[in-house]
Amino acid sequence: MLYGVQAPRRRDAQRNRDAIVRAACDLMTSERDVVGMPEIARRAGVGQATLYRHFPDRHALTSAVIAYQVERLEACVAATRQQPAAFRPMLDAVLRAQVTMRPLVRLARRLEPAVQGRYLRRIVTLLAEPLRRAQEHGHVRRDLEPGDLVLIFTMVEGVLEGTLDGEVEARAAAGRTIDLALDGVFRT
């Protein structure tokens, strides 16, 4: 880095970084309980030294995967900008991803609170405009505020972490919670 300007990555280095993020994303957003760094490196087709050169620890890699997922949400929001009714399936997908991406969610909960808060605020900010458009077209209750989305995320997380009957039962309970929450928020 020269005078605060980062040099562009070499193509092969960028390709390796992208492969690592994609591999980590695939593994961290699956239904697996634990994802090891060696498995991510193997899946990406790189050595562990290359993985650690790009991501010095699991927190850095977790942040990169979260950033990638947020970019995907940004693309979804942009693609449905003119479709106010698309907010329900979009929010449904975000909530169901919270259920299926357990390894990523668990790792994200280990990040510093300020980092967690930054990502959560970014997600809520992304969803605020589609929420407003859906409200203007009568698809969503008028009294729902963007901050209320955090309550729904927290409710789903509480069900997932608080169900004592096992993973399958927790996922089923979370699915039912999502259905109930969305039915309470959206107008049919």
Q: Is residue 3 part of a domain?
A: no
CB-based burial, 99-137: b 16+ in 10 Å, e otherwise: bebbbbbebbeebeeeeeeebeeebbebbeebbebbbee
User: Could you give the number of structural domains in the chain?
Assistant: 2
Is the pLDDT at 1 greater than 50? The verdict is no
Whether residue 95 is contained in a domain is answered as yes
Question: Is residue 143 pLDDT above 60, yes or no?
Answer: yes
SS3 5: strand
Q: Which domain holds residue 20?
A: 11-56
For residues 92 and 149, state if they share a domain: yes
In a domain, residue 133? The reply is yes
Q: What's the CATH code of the domain at 32? A: 1.10.10
Domain end, chosen from 56, 73, 92, is at 56
Mean pLDDT of the chain: 90
Does 136 share its domain with 83? yes
Residues 50 and 67 occupy one common structural domain: no
Q: Are residues 44 and 90 in the same domain?
A: no
Are residues 90 and 180 both part of a single domain?
Answer: yes
Angle at 148 between CA 26 and CA 138, to 5 degrees: 100
CA distance 7 to 85: 43
What does the alpha-carbon distance between residue 188 and residue 172 come to, in Å, rounded to a whole number?
23
| Residue finishing a domain among 40, 56, 72 | 56
Would the pLDDT of 167 be above 90? no
Mean pLDDT computed over 129-158: 96
Residues 96 and 159 reside in one and the same domain: yes
The answer to whether position 2 is within a domain reads: no
Residue 4 covered by a domain: no
Q: What's the pLDDT tens digit per position in 101-121?
A: 888 888 899 999 999 999 999
Q: Could you report the per-residue pLDDT of 51-99, keeping only the tens digit for each?
A: 999 999 999 999 999 999 999 999 999 999 999 999 999 999 999 999 9
Q: What is the pLDDT of residue 2?
A: 47
Residue 21, domain member (yes or no): yes
Does residue 85 lie within any of the structural domains?
yes
Q: What is the pLDDT of residue 97?
A: 92
pLDDT for 35 equals 76
Is 152 within a domain? yes
0.75 exceeded by pTM: yes
Q: Among 19, 40, 56, which residue terminates a domain?
A: 56
